[in-house]
Structure 1
Amino acid sequence: MATYNVTIHWHGIRQMRTGWADGPEFITQCPIRPGGSYTYRFTIQDQEGTLWWHAHSSWLRATVYGALIIYPKEGTSYPFPKPKRQTPILLGEWWDANPIDVVREATRTGGAPNVSDAFTINGQPGDFYKCSSNETVIIPIDSSETNLLRVINAAMNQELFFTIANHKLTVVGADASYLKPFSTNVIMLGPGQTTDVLITGDQSPARYHIAARAYQSAQGAPFDNTTTTAILEYKTAPCPAKGSVSVRPVSANLPRFNDTQTATTFTTTLRSPKTVPVPTEIDENLFITAGLGLNNCPVGAQASSCQAPNGTRFTASMNNVSFSFPSKISILQAFYNGVPGVYTTDFPPTPLLKFDYTGNVSRSLWQPISGTKVYKLKYGSRVQIVIQGTSIFTAENHPIHMHGYDFYIVAQGFGNFNPKTDTSKFNLVDPPMRNTASLPVGGWTVIRFVADNPGAWIMHCHLDAHISWGLAMVFIVENGVGESQTLEPPPEDLPVC
């Protein structure tokens, strides 16, 4: 029996009219209590590729996650030659401690949580840790064959670089959307993102390291600076003699931890394989800042509870609103049943105060307000969101995930977004479709989508330390006309609070 409350999020599934199955705790449901149960019921429509599922309650997703693969419909095929093999590769993050204790200690102190002790590939840390390298994951390949690797970043708090020694990666998909293929030596994934790559067995039969390590964009912030490995092994490679030292794999070269240029080059190269229906006329034009902050120590609080810099507590916000989760009913239940007092609909569509977002920000702006604020969208409205990073406390790359929707990333850049000049950079022809966008460190990203899925949908940073500090907001998309545009009734076994 489970020890903790839990919910499960089916990351990237559109959940058309089935928001009750989306999973984030106190957004679409109350948690499943120990000893309780809940059946998630949903239909996958017009989606294909690599997604994943994970717990969406506290830090349980550190260990509760897995791949979710949607194959082509019967009678159809991939937009590339069918690979000989397919292998999910889940990049994880591991603490030599109970992750729930780690986040609870951070909440108590107001400081940053302890960094992880290892990264993992399919649950194993690999050859460079003092843990057992005998269990290092081995991925098979044969000479001349082409295989599909479905790479998923399930880490809690870290963007990751990923590479394979001496092998080119042909990128063909991301977040369950196909892409215009291109070749690269390294890919970068933020937590929540998936990337499909083809590899060909075109090297000498041997063993080659598959490796991942941190991309850390926040200057001076502590991070897990270790490297996890698996082994790409040719079936015709020489096997180590019984009892002998294993044949050492060929080493992999990874970028430096702060190589923002490599990360940016990768994310800006992604393109849809053909012209896509990007909304060109916009009904809702939002400008949302995202970043960290510091709360003053509450009056009367002990110093042990204010261990962020200068005796403060870490916080995070969107448009200077630090999101507070309800505790007695979910936002979707409150919306569906008309329960007052759970949330307010005054989330600001633009910052209440304009400032130099990526410059030297006045300390008076470092402390956000706290609230459970949502933004309402009419069904069918065409939405553009400029997500602007800030340098409050520190600038950082944030993986921004939206529930219930895919969206087109039409542009990204560094510095402050300038609507007079940066709109000329918009790609309205073949931008990539994602469910999690990498907001560049000290920069901005522009996304577009059509609000055609009624319900309550959280948009948040997928660095779990940041969502626990309030880097989130919620869209409530109203019902349209007729049954096909209306949220389904809640299931009978929906957990109660």
Structure 2
Amino acid sequence: MASWVEKALILVIVGCLLPALLVESRVRHYKFNVVLKNHTRLCSTKQIVTVNGKYPGPTIVAREDDTVLVKVVNHVKYNLSIHWHGVRQIRTGWSDGPAYITQCPIQPGQTYTYNFTLTGQRGTLFYHAHILWLRATLHGALIILPKLGVPYPFPKPHKENVLVLGEWWKSDVEAVINEALKSGLAPNVSDAHTINGYPGLVHKNCNSPEMFNLNVKPGKKYMLRIINAALNEELFFKIANHHLTVVEVDATYVKPFKTDTIVVSPGQTTNVIIEANNKAGKYLVVVSPFMDAPVLVDNATGLASVRYTTSHPTALSTTLTAPPPINATEVADNFTNSLRALNSKEYPAKVPQQVDHSLLFAVGLGVNPCKTCVNGSRVVASINNVTFVMPNIALLQAHYSNISGVFTADFPAKPPTPFNYTGNQLTNLNTTTGTRVYKLPYNATVQLVLQDTAMIAPENHPFHLHGFNFFVVGKGLGNYSPKTDPTNFNLVDPVERNTIGVPSGGWVAIRFRADNPGVWFLHCHLEIHTTWGLKMAFLVENGKGPNESLIKPPRDIPKC
């Protein structure tokens, strides 16, 4: 029998180990083997880049404030990096993922362990490759559950389902973009839209049973975690004869509202509640592109079904629905204008009321000379007339180690030469090139107005900011007016996001606090525009002390 001394010693040992065990229980370990896998879609088979052979990739599930460790092993011929889209990465920019911005890519045969904590976040995010066009097939859901014992701010659904929306090319996507860069022209559009990897029953003369079915029980409520992982298209989503109650976007809660159609830009996520309150049957789910500008897109509709469970499944009839017109701007505006932050006691909207840095970024396309291209020129894209040039050394590494000559900290706060941004522009299409960043002191408040331009043609631009959430305080059509438009800003309960669509021929204003030191990418999430140079980076300086400073790079950080 143990003596009281032995018992006391045991209690001391257990008391010392218990905190470590509790911490360890909140560390989530994943291993991603990035491999080539044969996949058949649209009656054709091709090799695609996947995580663990899955398309879409495996879902990561964690809780708020958990630490996630993902060991990535690169078994493919491409250099690789993975971005954890929407994760704040507080002081852990080394794990953010964009190649040559926060890290050098993981080379073939090499490994890297991403290590980050989900500080103060809960909801639906996702991960994707952040180099070349590999995110076409290398992507998956990242679900952050609330802390144990903390309920949703809405009635708990019976079940939750992930719906990943994407695009599918019959040909190799890297060949598609390489041919476009060689010619200087736009790349071929995708051949299909997909829902959890499946395009639907019939598509472009290809009879196929490839359809995703969502089974539901009558009278139950379901939460759909909808992710737009498409490369180049904003998408409508609707379900025949069902209302969608919107409860969250980009892993932030919103004031619930009902709609029959949502719009999701590439990089955005939306959680909706549906109630299975219809008669037994199958109800068509449609995913279709939204584009209110005269550009070429794949206008085919991705199909799935909501299927009510019944004892006679073969006898179920299908209720159809039509997608909105491709240029249904009113439908899209009705959705985005309804989004408001929950702004409750538990989840307040901490909107910056004062602004330290007021920026105007004019975004759009351009044309630069190219001797080897088809027409002697190539299409490019720019912010404030700067077409971003990717460096050969990661910007964060250069910043942390004081390596000179990699970038300059002189990105313009406004267009060098103001002009009628949304008027027809047929001249002065050339842009400048450079690797330029905008420097921000720690904890500075920023107002950024993203202004679309009609250079070549006005377009929607879904912009994603790494390292931060931001508040969408205003938007409008035409040219932004710094005198009159701010009077209509919503500084009380604007929606909080990490990706926002700049209206075609209009502008959007966002605000955020630069309380995360590091180098943070800002870019259009239309992959072709990013490839053409529609991107820049913010350099946020360290604050006071270690808790406001970037941590040192991990030992296994990839080398260029």
| TM-score band w.r.t. shorter chain | over 0.9
Give, as a single letter, the amino acid of the residue that structure 2 aligns with 1:397: N
1:4 lines up with 2:78 in the alignment: yes
Matches within 5 A, 1:79-228: 79-129=153-203, 130-131=205-206, 133-219=208-294, 221-228=295-302
Q: Give the 3-state SS of the residue equivalent to 1:61 in structure 2.
A: helix
- One of 315, 318, 326 as aligned partner of 1:249: 318
1:269 maps to: 338
SS at 1:240's partner residue? helix
Find the aligned partners of 1:48 and 1:429 in 2 and give their Cα distance. Answer: 22
SS in 1 for 2:165: strand
2:175 and 2:290 mapped to 1: Cα distance? 25
**1:41-56 residue pairs with structure 2 within 5 A?**
41-56=115-130
Larger Rg computed on CA atoms? 2
Matches within 5 A, 1:287-436: 287-296=360-369, 298=370, 301-302=371-372, 305-307=373-375, 311-327=376-392, 329-361=393-425, 363-364=427-428, 366-436=429-499
Matched, 1:443 2:443: no
CA distance in structure 1 between the partners assigned to 2:332 and 2:260 by the alignment: 12
Shift of residue 132 of structure 1? Answer: 5.4
Aligned to 1:66: 140
Q: Deviations over 1:267-296 (max 9, x none)?
A: 111001125211011111111111111113
Unaligned runs of 5+ in 1: 242-246
Aligned with 1:466: secondary structure? helix
Does the CA-based 8 Å contact 2:281-2:317 persist in structure 1? no
Q: Whole-Å Cα distance in 2 between the matches of residues 292 and 41 of structure 1?
A: 36
Select the structure that is richer in strand: 2
Identical pairs, percent: 49
Match for 2:329 among 233, 242, 260? 260
Structure 2 residue 498 is the aligned partner of structure 1 residue 467: no
Tell me whether 1:18 sits opposite 2:83 in the alignment: no
Post-superposition Cα deviations, 1:428-478, rounded to whole Å, max 9, x if no partner, equal: 000000000110000000000000000000100000000000000100000
Among residues 354, 358, 367, which one is paired with 1:281 in the alignment? Answer: 354
**Partner Cα distance (1:26, 1:37) in 2:** 17
SS at match of 2:209: helix
**1-structure distance, mates of 2:263, 2:159:** 23
Shift of residue 75 of structure 1?
0.7
The answer to whether the Cα contact below 8 Å between 1:188 and 1:266 also exists between their aligned partners in 2 is: yes
1:180 positional shift: 0.3
Q: CA deviation at 1:144?
A: 1.1
* CA distance in 1 between partners of 2:214 and 2:208 (Å): 15
Which of structures 1 and 2 has the larger relative contact order (alpha carbons within 8 angstroms, sep 6+)?
1
**1:67-124 deviation digits (Å, cap 9, x = unpaired):** 0000111011111111001000000100001111111111111100100000100001
Residue type at the aligned position of 1:206: G
Taking the aligned partners of 1:412 and 1:486, their CA distance within structure 2 comes to: 34
Normalising by structure 2, report the TM-score: 0.85
Q: Which secondary structure state, in structure 2, belongs to the residue aligned with residue 42 of structure 1?
A: strand
| C-alpha distance in 1 between matches for 2:357 and 2:325 | 39
**TM-aligned CA deviation for residue 65 of structure 1:** 0.1
Residue 105 of structure 1 aligns to a residue whose secondary structure is helix
Contact 2:426 2:456 in 1 (8 A): no
How far residue 360 of structure 1 moved from its aligned partner, in angstroms, is 2.0
Assess, with a 3 A threshold, how the Cα gap between structure 1 residues 39 and 132 changes in structure 2: closer, same or farther: farther
* 1:169-192 superposed Cα distances (whole Å, 9 cap, x missing partner): 000000000000000010001100
Q: Conserved in 2, the CA contact under 8 Å of 1:51 and 1:69? A: yes
8 A Cα contact 1:12 1:51, kept in partner: yes
Verify the 8 A CA contact 1:382 1:451 in the aligned structure 2: yes
Amino acid at match of 2:407: Y
Query: Normalising to structure 1: TM-score of the pair?
Result: 0.95
**2:359 is matched by which residue type in structure 1?**
L
SS class of match (2:113): coil
- What is the deviation of 1:251? 1.0
CA RMSD of aligned residues (A): 1.1
Kindly provide the amino acid, as one letter, of the partner of residue 406 in structure 2.
V
**CA–CA distance in structure 2, aligned partners of residues 230 and 84 of structure 1:** 21
Between 100-109 and 122-131, the greater mean CA deviation after superposition: 122-131
Offset at 1:312? 2.6
1:33–1:132: structure 2 CA closer, same or farther, 3 Å change rule? farther
Of residues 105, 108, 117, the one that matches 1:31 is 105
State the distance in 1 between where 2:82 and 2:194 align: 21
Q: How far apart, CA to CA, are the structure 1 residues paired with 2:292 and 2:357? A: 31
Structure 2: distance between partners of 1:376 and 1:23: 20
Secondary structure of the corresponding residue to residue 522 of structure 2: strand
Corresponding letter in the other structure for 1:292: L
Equivalent AA in structure 1 for residue 109 of structure 2: G
CA distance in 2, matches of 1:416, 1:193: 25
Per the alignment, in what secondary structure is the counterpart of residue 409 of structure 1?
A: strand
Distance 1:223 1:229 in 2: 17
Instruction: Report how far residue 237 of structure 1 moved.
Output: 7.0
Structure 2 residue identity aligned to 1:322: T
Aligned mates of 2:311, 2:275 — CA distance in 1:
15
* Inter-partner Cα distance in structure 1 for 2:110 and 2:350: 43
Question: Within 2, Cα distance between the matches of 1:194 and 1:491?
Answer: 30
Would you say how many aligned residue pairs link Structure 1 and Structure 2?
A: 481
Over 3 Å counting, the alpha-carbon distance change for 1:237 and 1:154 in structure 2 is: farther
Structure 2 segments unaligned to the other structure (5+ residues): 1-74
Secondary structure of residue in 2 paired with 1:363: coil
**Counterpart residue type for residue 264 of structure 2:** L
